[in-house]
């Protein structure tokens, strides 16, 4: 694919442009821009997360999964990446594997399930 104007500029310019395309639901274009940013700055989590979201929304689930696993390799407690990975796996019909990531995402976000009722509470 030929390069176009939106793939040029500083990383900050391209980040802004990718966000604009993402907001406009132009996920493939956003992914194209973000792919270049991720190659340039693989240590940055935000572009990789947005790239995973762009892949997810454009049904490129294998690519979304790969990006999310890369994020979690760098930051295992990134709860949003964990949640997205669970949702991505669900869309692929991998429910057992998805459930593990969804439970971990909920725990990392501080959601430990429903509060026990008065009769179920244990004394401190």
Structure letter (DSSP) for residue 25: T
For the chain, give the percent of residues with pLDDT over 90. 77
Q: What is the spatial distance between Cα 51 and Cα 124, in angstroms, rounded to a whole number?
A: 45
Tens-digit pLDDT profile for residues 89-120: 999 999 999 999 999 999 988 876 655 444 44
Q: What is the spatial distance between Cα 90 and Cα 92, in angstroms, rounded to a whole number?
A: 5
pLDDT of residue 118: 45
Tell whether pTM > 0.85.
no
Tens-digit pLDDT profile for residues 28-47: 999 999 999 999 999 999 99
More confident residue, 19 or 113: 19
Structure letter (DSSP) for residue 7: G
pLDDT of residue 122: 42
> Does 1 have pLDDT greater than 90?
no
Tens-digit pLDDT profile for residues 61-80: 999 999 999 999 999 999 99
């Amino acid at each position: 694919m030929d390069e176009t104007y939106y793939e040029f500029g500083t990383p900050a310019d391209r980040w802004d442009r990718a966000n604009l395309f993402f907001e406009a639901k132009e996920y493939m274009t956003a992914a194209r821009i973000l792919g270049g940013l991720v190659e340039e700055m693989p240590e940055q989590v935000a572009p990789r997360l947005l790239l995973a979201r762009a892949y997810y929304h454009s049904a490129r689930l294998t690519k979304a999964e790969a990006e999310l696993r890369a994020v979690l390799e760098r930051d295992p407690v990134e709860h949003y990446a964990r949640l997205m990975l669970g949702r991505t796996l669900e869309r692929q019909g991998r429910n057992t594997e998805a459930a593990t990531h969804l439970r971990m995402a909920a725990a990392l976000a501080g959601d430990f399930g429903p509060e026990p009722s008065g009769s179920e509470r244990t004394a401190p």
